[in-house]
Amino acid sequence: MWWKIIILGISVVLAWRILGFVYFMGPHRTIHTHWPGPCRNLAPIRSGAEGIALSSLQGLAFISSGYKTADVTDERIKNSLARVFLFDFNKPDGDAKELELIGDVRLASPHGISLWEDKEGIQIFLVDHRLTEDTIEIFRFEPPLSLRHTRTIYNPLFANLNDVIATGDSSFYVTNAASVRDGPLLTISFLLQLSTGSVVYYDGVTARQVAGNGKILNGITSSSDGRFIFVSYMVDEAIVVFRREGDGSLTRVQTISLSAILDNLFYDPATGDLLASCGIPIGFFTMITDYGHKAPSHLLRIRPLSGGRDNPFETYNIVELFADDGYLLSVSSSAALFQDKLLLGSVLEKAALCEIRYAND
């Protein structure tokens, strides 16, 4: 009799997990279009703008394009080129420009992107999914339109990289969506929503895990002073706020619940706001088999209202700054705000540029 009880218990748990995955995919969610002002698609980007890294000092946005997952079947996505684009916010009527990659590197599938800016200039940190491993590729920006490859960093802890945030000229944090890279184990991990995601810190020499037990960890960013690290937990529909300690370890401070499936994060140095790019997962999985499918996008702004040095988001409000049914922007993944211009990226398709004229404050 006892074995029947065990089987029943396991069946109930599995059914609950699968139902949770169906809920996470979001077939019940609806997004209605509203923009903060006039918007347009940003030429010539047509194969995704998965990640955006902003130099707030110079008004330059670096955009990763050409990301594709192992389960892509649509040939139009499989054949997309891996590129990095530059958009100059100081020329808002202009287009994005493709950057020339100089050095011994050929990108395979660029994903998260970050930058580090000092008196020597701008360094770009880029997640790349190679055939058998995930790496961080580091480039030096050479104006006007070149990136010179300087270093490839690999570590066994880079299991299934998603996003990166630079903390120095050779140090960074990365998120692992899961503890395996692809194959049946990854499918099982996602289907059962196993808590195998993690945050890894690379100090310039070695790497170590500094946060774990997360269900599909995604975007990561930091406050302007580097004291706080913000990580998007997709399945939990929340941003987790960590305080960064002197040795690079992370102390969990707060969880900001959003009730939305969020991707990458942007910290606005001008206001201290967080922007969270959100979408509906079922739309993404439909697009990788049918590139012509359109899927909704929306962007949330989290504004701190009160809080001290140790917890800046003690209280906050949340505003939906942008939403689109998929025809301007399909499956949003990233955003960057510079003055009154909002740049938005998508996982597989177009980018968009909007003016902020009314933000529903």
pLDDT of residue 5: 60
Is residue 300 in some structural domain?
A: yes
Residue with tokens 């100059």: 88
pLDDT of residue 34: 92
Is residue 24 in some structural domain?
A: no
pLDDT of residue 74: 61
pLDDT of residue 83: 95
Secondary structure class of 10 (helix, strand, coil): helix
Number of domains in the chain: 1
pLDDT of residue 188: 74
Q: What domain range is 143 assigned to?
A: 31-355
Is residue 18 in some structural domain?
A: no
pLDDT of residue 308: 74
Is residue 19 in some structural domain?
A: no
Query: Tokens at residue 139, please?
Result: 């480039």
| Nearest Cα residue to 299 out of 274, 271, 328 | 274
Is residue 262 in some structural domain?
A: yes
Secondary structure class of 305 (helix, strand, coil): strand
pLDDT of residue 344: 98
pLDDT of residue 185: 73
pLDDT of residue 40: 97
Positions in the chain short of pLDDT 50: none
pLDDT of residue 361: 62
Is residue 43 in some structural domain?
A: yes
CB proximity list for 356: less than 8 A, separation 6 or greater? 36, 37, 321, 337, 340, 341, 342
pLDDT of residue 104: 86
Is residue 45 in some structural domain?
A: yes
pLDDT of residue 279: 83
Is residue 5 in some structural domain?
A: no
- Asked whether 110 and 85 are in contact (CB, 8 A), the reply is no
pLDDT of residue 294: 85
Query: Tokens at residue 49, please?
Result: 């703008």
CATH number at residue 310: 2.120.10.30
